[in-house]
Amino acid sequence: MTALRQATEVVDPVPGASAPHLPQQPDLVQLLTPEGERVEQPDYSLDISDEELRSLYRDLALVRRWDVEATALQRQGELGIWASLLGQEAAQVGAGRALADGDMAFPTYREHGVAWARGVDPLDVMSLFRGVDNGGWDPVARRFNLYTIVIGAQCLHATGYAMGVQRDGSEDAVLAFLGDGATSQGEVNEAMVFAASFAAPVVFFCQNNQYAISVPLERQTRIPLYQRAAGFGFPGVRVDGNDVLAVLAVTRAALQAAREGQGPTFIEAFTYRMGAHTTSDDPTRYRLASELEEWKLRDPIARLKAHLSRDGIADAAFFESVDAEGDELAARIRTGTVEMPDPAPSSMFEHVYAEQTPPLAAQQAEFEAYHASFEGGVER
Amino acid sequence: MTETLTIGKALNLGLRRAMEDDAKVVLMGEDIGKLGGVFRITDGLQKDFGEDRVVDTPLAEAGILGTAVGLAMRGYRPVCEIQFDGFVFPAYNQIVTQVAKIHARSKGRVAMPIVIRIPMGGGIGAVEHHSESPEAYFAHTAGLKVVAVSNPVDAYWGIQQAIAHPDPIVFLEPKRRYWEKAEVDTSATPDPLFGSRVVRGGDDVTLLAYGPMVKTALQAAQAAADEGRSIEVIDLRTVSPLDLDPVFESVRRTGRCVVVHEAPTTLGLGAEIAARVTETCFHSLEAPVLRVGGYDTPYPPSKLEEEYLPDLDRVLDAVDRAMGF
Ligand SMILES: Cc1ncc(C[n+]2csc(CCOP(=O)(O)OP(=O)(O)O)c2C)c(N)n1
Ligand SMILES: [Mg+2]
């Protein structure tokens, strides 16, 4: 099957850097270079105060600190698994901070940075990975849906939600998260067809972290992902996912367009999964360490820090205070996780239906009686 | 030649042999190449057989099964890996409306020798969708055969037999038992694929299980023996078609029958088996056929899975109830 091999070879190692058969598009929206220098983008100007810049840094740093603590807790047996966001902090915080209060977000299972930006208590995320529940937050109150583990399913939910927003005549917008791998799922493509067809106020925010577990991007696509949008009939844009300012500006603009009735946008946040897929994964089996070293040079947090320092927006005392806050947060997450009570056994029978059925109620009663029979010490 | 193998390694070797025996065998799935699958069942196979025969697919289960149909029509024998039981559903349409029906639709002119490997069941402390027992959905679909292995010997031979078989087979692998070991004689003559097997003799109660619950059933039988009860354990091995003759023979002797599975009890395999045993052995029965299964709830968060999954105590409780009738 040499044709297959040839096709693989013509794909540029940095996917999308060259696609000669396609019209030229601004390739990567960037407002902050990897060295931390501000650059101007006429289409995505960002008017941002020093205060806001510092608070973005704080979010990035705290979210990473949470992530590091969660990985450690998993290693110590306190979590069943953890899906790290390492390297994707800017993509997530930038996107999360672009949301208006009334907007709704539909995450995958990795959007801890968006959860943070939506005001979700980290412990309500930890409970999922500890196996206590499927996420402890209220998705309605937080306007942040529960994590969706079945790849791509949430893109249709986001689109339908946006169709509801349309019917309400509201100015809310919807943000659907997905990965590069997810773009191959039929349901994701159906979501884009619906969104385009109804000009639904939904933005598809794809974190292209270059891998779907072990499978590299070029197995999912032969063109840059953002260019797929054209085929569905709405704009696509690629943003430097490690540049929190660019992500914020681009996502805000796309949400605003949705609000104004201009329909969907596809955002490809070009980034890198710096850690393993999850704590169960071993990336040394499928990628070279040198790749990670390259991406470390584009670290999203170091970049903002360089900018804040260079332009005198933050001083050493500020960074120290964020570090100290991170340690406090980590300690709170650790204690809260370790001390999290197990759910009551019979709670699994609760909420299966809005209206409990007689057979299930009977099963629950039987379960409780069976349980009680052990309390007298007759356990085998 | 006899080797000590885990279920995982037995599957790996069985796949390797099937690929050596038939150049038309093509493995397809997510992360099955370089990574060797998330459970490493296909470890090393892409290296040895190449990317055309061990295919890391795009992330799309309908795509995997739908293209497997086309490959099968073109004379290949696709072996599809679904990464976890809860992720088979995007492919469900293809499996139920196409894979299962094409042979009948084409009046036998088009065969569908597709194997769909699915790591099945709970007990590994996972998050949602990683612990499902979907066998009844498939067993309820005419045109599909459903196999659920419980041990390394059946894993090694069963996967080869399934691949060589002309009909589509959903091949369920007991994921929490992947690391269980046994001696496998790789030069022996294997038992037929679609047959149940008495794995422990006994006189008081007939205990039926398949896949991951066989080990639990055997442990329960051992514990019961310590209390003076003699339990016959039958590993069904195949869920569709069911091979119930050994079960009927056993129940005619014991007069009591208990079926165990992880899947929710209501409308699970146990319901079909109870009906068939009752129809066939009515006059020998001393007690109704009892079922021990998962509850009729979504599979719970992992902190509660030990409460949900049938265990020794729940099996023995059912044995007590059968005996006390
Ligand atoms: C329907 C479905 N199939 C398979 C899986 C197993 N799985 C979990 S994550 C993943 C890769 C996802 O890759 P991508 O969409 O790029 O997101 P990332 O994990 O890189 O953030 C796979 C295959 C799943 N969760 N759902
Ligand atoms: Mg990815």
A133 and B223: CB-CB below 8 Å?
A: no
Whether complex ipTM tops 0.85: yes
Rounded to the nearest 5°, which phi and psi values hold at B203?
Answer: -120, -20
B303 and A343: CB-CB below 8 Å?
A: yes
Residue A9 at interface with chain B, using a CB cutoff of 8 Å: no
Output the CA A111–ligand 2 centroid distance in Å. 12
Residue B60 to chain A, least CA–CA distance (Å): 5
Please give the residue range of the domain that contains residue A52. 2-338
Give the residue-averaged pLDDT of A132-154.
Answer: 98
Q: Do residues A349 and A332 both lie within one domain?
A: no
pLDDT digits (tens, 9 = 90+) for A26-62: 589 999 999 999 999 999 999 999 999 999 999 999 9
Which ligand places an atom closest to the C-alpha of A151?
Answer: 1
Which ligand places an atom closest to the C-alpha of A213?
Answer: 1
Residues framing ligand 1 (Cβ under 6 A): A 110, 149-151, 179-182, 209, 211-213, 273, 277; B 30, 59, 61, 83, 87, 90
Q: Do residues A169 and A188 both lie within one domain?
A: yes
Residue B38 at interface with chain A, using a CB cutoff of 8 Å: yes
Q: Residue A241 in contact with residue A258, Cβ under 8 Å?
A: no
Rounded percentage of chain A residues whose pLDDT exceeds 90:
91
Query: Ligand 1: which atom is nearest the Cα of residue A220?
Result: 16
C-alpha to C-alpha distance for A258 and B40, rounded to whole angstroms? 44
Choose the closest CB to B62 out of A186, A281, A363: A186
Domain B197-324 - what CATH class?
A: alpha beta
Q: Residue B156 in contact with residue B13, Cβ under 8 Å?
A: yes
Choose the closest CB to B301 out of A133, A151, A187: A133
Q: Do residues A355 and A279 both lie within one domain?
A: no
pTM to 2 decimal places: 0.95
C-alpha to C-alpha distance for B45 and B32, rounded to whole angstroms? 9
Q: Give the pLDDT confidence score for residue A27 in this predicted structure.
A: 84
Give the residue-averaged pLDDT of A287-291.
Answer: 94
Output the CA A208–ligand 2 centroid distance in Å. 6
C-alpha to C-alpha distance for B167 and B100, rounded to whole angstroms? 9
Is A143 among the residues known to form the active site?
Answer: no
Q: Do residues A354 and A258 both lie within one domain?
A: no
| Nearest alpha carbon to residue B208 among B166, B163, B243, B162 | B243
Provide the residue ranges of all domains of chain B, joining segments of one domain with +: 2-185, 197-324
A144 secondary structure, DSSP code? B
Q: What is the pLDDT along chain B (325 residues), one digit of tens a residue?
A: 899 999 999 999 999 999 999 999 999 999 999 999 999 999 999 999 999 999 999 999 999 999 999 999 999 999 999 999 999 999 999 999 999 999 999 999 999 999 999 999 999 999 999 999 999 999 999 999 999 999 999 999 999 999 999 999 999 999 999 999 999 999 999 999 999 999 999 999 999 999 999 999 999 999 999 999 999 999 999 999 999 999 999 999 999 999 999 999 999 999 999 999 999 999 999 999 999 999 999 999 999 999 999 999 999 999 999 999 9
Is A277 among the residues known to form the active site?
Answer: yes
Give the residue-averaged pLDDT of A206-234.
Answer: 97
What's chain A's average pLDDT? 93
Query: Ligand 1: which atom is nearest the Cα of residue A278?
Result: 19
B86 and A342: CB-CB below 8 Å?
A: no
Output the CA B127–ligand 2 centroid distance in Å. 19
What b/e string do you get for A195-219 counting C-beta neighbours within 10 Å, with b at 16 or more?
bbebbbbbbbbbbbbbbbbbbbbbb
User: Which bin fits A223, alpha (ψ -120 to 50), beta or left (φ > 0)?
Assistant: beta
Q: Which residue of B has its CA nearest to A133?
A: B301
Q: Do residues A326 and A359 both lie within one domain?
A: no
How many of the other CB atoms lie within 10 Å of CB of A344? Answer: 11
Residue B223 at interface with chain A, using a CB cutoff of 8 Å: yes
Q: Do residues A307 and A279 both lie within one domain?
A: yes
Q: Do residues A310 and A355 both lie within one domain?
A: no
Q: Give the pLDDT confidence score for residue A195 in this predicted structure.
A: 98
Query: Ligand 1: which atom is nearest the Cα of residue A209?
Result: 20
Q: Do residues A264 and A143 both lie within one domain?
A: yes
CATH number for the domain that contains residue A50:
3.40.50.970
Q: Which residues of B touch A286 (CB under 8 A)?
A: 34-35
| Nearest alpha carbon to residue B167 among B112, B130, B123 | B112
pLDDT tier for residue A376 given thresholds of 50, 70 and 90: low
Reading the block at residue A62, the tokens are 């705290």
C-alpha to C-alpha distance for A211 and A341, rounded to whole angstroms? 35
pLDDT digits (tens, 9 = 90+) for A159-208: 999 999 999 999 999 999 999 999 999 999 999 999 999 999 999 999 99
| Nearest alpha carbon to residue B130 among B88, B90, B171, B178 | B88
Only one residue has tokens 């296909």, namely B42
Q: Do residues A220 and A119 both lie within one domain?
A: yes
Reading the block at residue B49, the tokens are 């057989």
Q: Is the pLDDT of residue A5 over 80?
A: no
Q: Do residues A33 and A170 both lie within one domain?
A: yes
Q: Do residues A162 and A282 both lie within one domain?
A: yes
- Domain tally for chain A? 2
Q: Give the pLDDT confidence score for residue B172 in this predicted structure.
A: 99
Best residue among A151, A273, A280 to mutate for probing ligand 1, ranked by most atoms within 8 Å of CB = A151
C-alpha to C-alpha distance for A372 and A143, rounded to whole angstroms? 40
Q: Do residues A360 and A224 both lie within one domain?
A: no
Residue nearest to atom 19 of ligand 1 (CA): A212
Q: Give the pLDDT confidence score for residue A15 in this predicted structure.
A: 40
Q: Residue A103 in contact with residue A255, Cβ under 8 Å?
A: yes
Q: Do domains B2-185 and B197-324 have the same CATH topology?
A: yes
Reading the block at residue A53, the tokens are 């810049």
Domain B2-185 in CATH 3.90.105.10? The answer is no
